[in-house]
Structure 1
Amino acid sequence: MSENLPEVDVTLWRADAIVLFDWLMSVDLDTVPITHPAQKQALADLLTALEHNIDSDITASTAEEIAAAQEEVAKDMGW
């Protein structure tokens, strides 16, 4: 990201962060439907931010932790 642009802090539940990180690591961003190239770049930036979050250990999540996070996030979806 450009150092000259303002930043925004986003707070996620740990389970959401695990689910997003797992998905972003496995998805082919070239196949994700986008309407503007900036959308793909924003997803790549989110992955980088999740990877470099020194306050989190989500990058080391086990398959069991990922499955548990998916269950936690999906249980109250309501749709």
Structure 2
Amino acid sequence: MEKSFPWGSTPNTDLSLWRSDAVVLFDWLMSTDLNTVPVTHPAQKQALADLLARLEEVDVAESTQEEISAAQEEVARNMGW
């Protein structure tokens, strides 16, 4: 479902994510109370909610716990910092 923005038509940005990153982000966003995430502007919380909504529209929303664990391992292995 397309999100309706109150300010009319807005430009979109295509974003390609590594699937493992998308799975990890989706799992984290689903288990996080966005009201407790530290933000410096309300738009940051809204952007996270929008990201969650977009991730819900793709196949990562159907990830099993096994797939989530594997994605977490894969992402952590490639942290590089």
TM value normalised by structure 2: 0.88
Amino acid across the alignment from 2:70: A
Find the aligned partners of 1:65 and 1:23 in 2 and give their Cα distance.
14
Find the aligned partners of 2:56 and 2:78 in 1 and give their Cα distance.
27
Deviation at 1:52, TM superposition (A): 1.4
Q: Residue 63 of structure 1 aligns with which residue? A: 65
Deviation at 1:76, TM superposition (A): 1.7
Q: Residue 47 of structure 1 aligns with which residue? A: 52
How many residues are matched? 76
User: Would you identify which runs of 4 or more consecutive aligned residues in structure 1 move more than 2 Å?
Assistant: none
> Which 5+ residue runs of structure 2 have no aligned equivalent?
none
* Same amino acid, percent of matched pairs: 67
Q: SS of the counterpart of 1:40?
A: helix
Find the aligned partners of 2:31 and 2:78 in 1 and give their Cα distance.
24
> Which 5+ residue runs of structure 1 have no aligned equivalent?
none
Deviation at 1:78, TM superposition (A): 2.0
Find the aligned partners of 1:29 and 1:61 in 2 and give their Cα distance.
21
CA RMSD of aligned residues (A): 1.0
